[in-house]
Amino acid sequence: MARTLKSLGVAVSLFLCLGFARPVSAATDITVFAAASTTNALTEIAKIYENGKSGKVALSFASSSTLAKQIESGAPADVFLSADTTWMKYLEERNLLEPGSRSELLGNRIVFIVPVSSSVQSITVSPQLDLLELLGRDGRLSVGDPAHVPVGRYAKAALEHLKLWTQVENRIAPAQDVRAGLVLVERAESPLGIVYATDAAVSDKVRVADTFPLDSHPSIDYPVAAIKGSKRDAALAFIKFLSAPQAKEIWAKYGFEVK
C-alpha cells in the first residue's frame, strides 16, 4: 500500500510539473523595438524567422527616440534596432544594453519627395535650391522632428551643410517619425518632404525629386543590440538572423545598404 501511494505521489508530481511547465517555444519568443523605417523589411524577415520555428517575434515600430525612451522606462523589449547611433548610445550610456551584443547592421540615404501628382518632376540638391518656391506660400516641409527623430536630424544637418536650413527652419511640419512624415506628402498635405530612400521606395503616392549628397550629412547607420535583462540567447539568435543571407536579400530588396 505504501509503495502504491509513493508511486501515485511521483506520478502526480510529474503530472503537475508537466502541466505547469512553460511551452518550449515561449522561452524563445521575443519583442523587437525597431525604427519605423524598417517596418516593411523587418516584418517580412520576422515572418521567415517564425516559419523556421525559432519562436514568435513581436514587433513594435516608432521613432528610435520614442523607442529608446520607452526602453529606458522599462518597456519589455529584447532587441532594439535604431535608425541612428545617437539613441543606441543613449541606452548604452545608461547600461541598458547586453554587453557585446551591439553591431552595425544597415545603411540608408535621405531624399526629397513630392506627391505623385506634383508638377515638380525633379530638383537639384545644391546651395542654390529655392525651397521656398517649392513650398509655395503656405506649404511646409514634412520631415521627422529634427529635435529628436533621426531622419529629421540627418535632414537638418544636410540642409545646414548646404546653407538651406535658414530658408525652412520656420516652415517645418515636424512628424513623430519618418512614416508620419511620408504620409503628409502622400496626402499632398505637404508639397515637399524628406524621408529615407527606403520609405520613398515603398510608396506609390510619392516621387523622389533628388537624393542628398553623401557628404552633406553624417553617415546613416542602423545599429542593433540586445537589451540587458532580455531573453539573451533568443535575442542574440534573432540579431544573428538579421545578417543571414535570407535577411540580407530582403534588406537589399527594400533599398537598405547591408553592412
Domain ranges of the chain: 28-107+220-258, 110-216
DSSP-derived pairing of the beta strands 57-62 and 30-35:
parallel
Predicted confidence band of residue 230 (pLDDT cuts 50, 70, 90): confident
CATH code: domain 28-107+220-258 is: 3.40.190.10
In this prediction, residue 198 carries a pLDDT of: 98
**Fold matches, 28-107+220-258 and 110-216:** yes
Residue 203 identity (one-letter amino acid):
S
| List of E strands, 42-189 | 57-62, 79-81, 103-107, 110-115, 141-144, 172-175
Superfamily of domain 110-216: Periplasmic binding protein-like II (3.40.190.10)
In this prediction, residue 24 carries a pLDDT of: 37
Q: Is the pLDDT of residue 170 over 90?
A: yes
Q: For the whole model, what pTM was predicted?
A: 0.87
Q: Is the pLDDT of residue 43 over 60?
A: yes
Strand order in the sheet with 57-62: 57-62, 30-35, 79-81, 221-226, 103-107, 257-258
Q: Is the pLDDT of residue 7 over 70?
A: no
pLDDT digits (tens, 9 = 90+) for 202-221: 999 999 999 999 999 999 99
Q: Give the residue-averaged pLDDT of 142-148.
A: 97
In this prediction, residue 147 carries a pLDDT of: 97
Grid coordinates given for 154 = 540627418
Q: For residue 80, how many other CB atoms are within 10 A of its CB?
A: 28
In this prediction, residue 53 carries a pLDDT of: 83
